[in-house]
A = this chain, B = another copy of it.
């Protein structure tokens, strides 16, 4: 059986997990190389995963023998350039979310992908999470009737250090966190979001406002076919990593939630259950299923389950949310590059 040769670009936390999964848990793939601008980090990951090749740039990795596909897990800002380069080299691509930080970049990426004909998948891994998968099946089976309201919550435990805001290589809250829910909204409601309205706050950490970011947000959603929704995002919930989604329909509702109760401690303080504190723990299975599917998709020559178009559409909602936040009024969701940006 042919194994797919994959290289991972960017071996921070996220890329490293992809590399580990490819190396250890995806028998149909062969991790042939890792690359990182921090070449030392790439070397170390290569050594730990016992693979031979590590590089300091995508360009050099692309020359590695046996490389069929690349996983792009750089900071958000560099997605666009990396995708264009990898596509030009004819490599299939799994690109982490968000697709890009602007619609102009996103369009260039999709064009590059389309021109070269490489396969392209965007890293909305929640679509691979077992609970979300079951939720989707039950919605499709009509168990909640017609979807009426979409609700989602995404809370990270600890806010990024100020240096992360300062470096400016990743998008603001809407692009790094809420983008997952924007994708879930489209996917689970099987509809498009036409307009959004956002309130944001950074009152408990005013410094982040200087970098154009916010600590928390609530985004109202209006869907094309009449449904409505709301997404809450919070960068520093402190108590844990907490993701919950609910789709409320005409007949019932379905909830997906990260608050488990596998373990309960009963003490005088009350009934205590541990809360997950980290996305890589909560979604470990989803990340693995995602990369397995990516590999199989290519080996079996199937269309990707999460396309570049999906990446673009979620991005367009994030852009609209940011516009609403900046302008203090609802903003239409549009995939067109705004004139001002041309």
Contact = CB atoms under 8 A, between A and B. Distances in A.
A229 interface: yes
Contact of A273 (B198, B217, B263, B271): B271
Contacts of A200: 228
Nearest to A149: B216
A18 B270 CA distance: 29
A195 B328 CA distance: 11
Given A138-B265, A270-B275, A329-B329, A252 B230 contact: no
B274 A248 contact: no
A162 interface: no
Interface stretch (A77-85, A170-178, A254-262, A312-320): A254-262
Contact of A264 (B254, B264, B267, B328): B254
Contacts of A256: 262-263
Interface in A53-90: none
A160 to B, nearest CB: 16
Nearest to A196: B199
B270 A274 contact: yes
Contact of A230 (B134, B135, B218): B218
Which range holds the interface residue count of chain A?
35 or more
A1 interface: yes
Number of copies of this kind of chain in the complex: 4
Contacts of A210: none
B218 A239 contact: no
A50 interface: yes
B228 A201 contact: yes
Interface in A128-169: 130-131, 134-135, 138, 143-146, 148-149, 151, 153, 155
Nearest to A219: B220
Contact of A237 (B27, B130, B248): B248
A81 to B, nearest CB: 33
Nearest to A281: B130
A275 B225 CA distance: 29
Interface string A25-52: 1010000000000000000000000100
7 contacts: A25-B25, A144-B265, A148-B204, A234-B248, A238-B267, A259-B261, A271-B273
